[in-house]
Amino acid sequence: MELVALPRNFFDRAPALVARDLLGKLLVRRLEGKTLVGRIVETEGYLATGDEASHSHKGKNTRNASMFKDAGHAYVHTLRQYVLLDVVTEGKDTPSAVLIRAVEPVRGITGVADGPGKVGRAMDITRALDGIDMTDPDEDLFIADDKKQLARKVCVSSRIGISKAKDLPLRFYYE
DNA sequence: CACCAGATCCTCT
DNA sequence: GAGGATCTGGTGG
């Protein structure tokens, strides 16, 4: 299996488009000589402006600084004991992102990581990966296209697990 | 320094 | 569907 990182222009688009198109793509984690691969099956977009649920809504701080990087960078943050992974979308200083909410096992991982905290756990995502450039082929975390992906129906819904801006249709998942 | 809000998850009913 | 476990940095005194 050839695993090539998606280019920056894939991520340099509106978060809703990136969130939708990330379904079926492969999340790749290189770790201690091994390669973990999961197929992305659920995502959520977070907007740069007018989105109270986005971590960037109140401006830049040390916690969310990675959201202000250029498209294709990782925004890794913790929620209680869990580590969550976002990919930054749109250009620099346009702080939007897509949360990877679930992956299916492809290689090296077992079970279904059917929640953002479980994705972080299954693929050993750590804070050290916060801010890395996921379009850089030398990095230990990136997203690759899957040439053999099957056509599956994409569903859209409002986001879950948040208390503000609940009504935006920014959650994408396979039927 | 104290307080508290979370993009969660697991274990009960 | 409710409640608790458990962690970190933002915010305000």
A80-123 residue pLDDT tens: 999 999 999 998 999 999 999 999 999 999 988 999 999 999 99
Whether A92 contacts A65, CB under 8 Å? no
Integer distance in angstroms from CA A82 to C1' C5? Answer: 12
Q: Which nucleotides of B are covered by protein (CB under 7 A)?
A: 6-10
d(CA A45, CA A33): 32
Q: Which nucleotides of C are covered by protein (CB under 7 A)?
A: 5-11
pLDDT value at residue A64: 98
pLDDT value at residue A129: 98
d(CA A67, CA A85): 11
Mean pLDDT, consecutive 10-residue stretches, chain A (175 aa), reads 93 98 97 95 97 96 97 98 98 96 96 96 97 96 88 95 94 95
pLDDT value at residue A114: 97
